[in-house]
Amino acid sequence: MFKPQQLGTVTIPDAELTTDKKNCKKIGPCGVGEKAIYLNSFYFDRRYYIPISSIERIFKRIAMSKGGFTGKGAFGTLSYLVVVYENGKEKQCNFKHEEDVDRLLAYIEERFPQIPLHSIEAERKLEEKRKWLEEKQRERILPEEIKKRLTKLERAENYLKKQSDYYMDLSLSAKKKRTYDRSNPAYKWVALAVVILGIGAFLYGIYSLLTHAGFGMYFLLFGLAAIFLFAGANVLPTSKNNKKYIENQLERSIQQMETYIQKYPDFPVPAYYAHPIVLKRMQDIMKEGRAETIPEALKFLKEDLKALNSNVVVEKEEYDEIVTIKPMFLVMDYK
């Protein structure tokens, strides 16, 4: 095992570092240990380390392709984890899957709640929203009964945050189910055709190699084969990309959450909606005076989510929350 390189001025003794890296929770190309966070380089996973004591904040950054802004050309996003340490130094790590960034941040919140999880700008906007809600509360005196309900929701939210894997599994499995349900079955036939083209290009490449057709031809054919095979393989049904597996995964996530919240007396929402963001937004609804009871707050949250579509413009922080929880409601048909 390669010894990770130190970032910053604080070092961890080799023996402690080796043990910590070995036992760290691996999430995507990075890892979180008791002593340090381990970050990837372009080629190697967990190549660098920053001691937890040196970290000032960790947050997600999304880079959007030009097509995402102009509406012309290809649209795509890249997900990054940004670690700020030692008076503003930054280390940015690219992730293949955005959900891995979310999972890592949720784990950081669970294990190291003292570390801020937003950029300074996002934190400023959240603080403005918090002050606005406080102002709304001052304008209307909340009855003691509503305060008790808010406390109940807040405690339930904190309880969920103790097991980030559970609510992350629930959200991600709902997203996969929603994506699969909305995918056009015709795409699978297109993917099959692409894979067949890839196999054909690969076989013809071997034939060209045996008949000495020239290096350029080998390169072209094997390159096309790789492109076609990788493109088609992402769409074709596999052991982990089929209806039964995805539905079972969602069911397991709900059952896992059900088992967890059974230990909590009178949990305020069903297991299939048990996510900290759901409970936080329900609190906001009650603070705004739109609901007085917990069932009413859940009802208004459902109405809010139903009203949100691609034509509604929201800030990035709210967008992140919506795309996290809305699939959970969609796959349950808002029941």
Report domain extents, the chain: 5-111
Q: Which residues pair with 59 in a beta bridge?
A: 82
Question: Rg of the chain over CA atoms, in angstroms?
Answer: 24
Give the Cα separation of 5 and 48 in Å (integer). Answer: 5
- Residue 163: which pLDDT band, with cuts at 50, 70 and 90? very high
Could you count the other beta carbons within 10 Å of the beta carbon of residue 122? 17
- Residue 75: which pLDDT band, with cuts at 50, 70 and 90? very low
Q: Which residues pair with 39 in a beta bridge?
A: 48
141: which DSSP letter? P
Q: Which residues pair with 92 in a beta bridge?
A: 82
The residue behind tokens 């570092």 is: 17
Q: How far is CA 236 from the centre of its chain?
A: 23
Q: CB–CB of 104/112 below 8 Å?
A: no
Percent of the chain with pLDDT over 70: 76
Q: CB–CB of 260/227 below 8 Å?
A: no
Could you count the other beta carbons within 10 Å of the beta carbon of residue 212? 9
3-state secondary structure of 273: helix
221: closest CA among 213, 170, 328? 213
Encoding tokens for residue 301? 């949250």
- The whole-number average pLDDT for the span 302-330 is 85
* The predicted structure's pLDDT at residue 74: 39
Q: In Å, what is the CA distance from 156 to each residue of 105, 151, 162, 191, 256?
A: 19, 9, 10, 44, 16
Could you count the other beta carbons within 10 Å of the beta carbon of residue 124? 11
Q: 24 pLDDT exceeds 70? A: yes
- Residues found in the chain: 335
* The predicted structure's pLDDT at residue 229: 54
- The continuous run of DSSP H or E covering 292 comes out as none
90: which DSSP letter? E
Encoding tokens for residue 213? 């057709």
- Residue 72: which pLDDT band, with cuts at 50, 70 and 90? very low
Which phi and psi angles does 55 have, rounded to 5°? Answer: -80, 130
Give the Cα separation of 124 and 184 in Å (integer). Answer: 41
- The continuous run of DSSP H or E covering 157 comes out as helix 144-160
* The predicted structure's pLDDT at residue 128: 86
- Residue 126: which pLDDT band, with cuts at 50, 70 and 90? confident
98: closest CA among 172, 161, 35, 200? 172
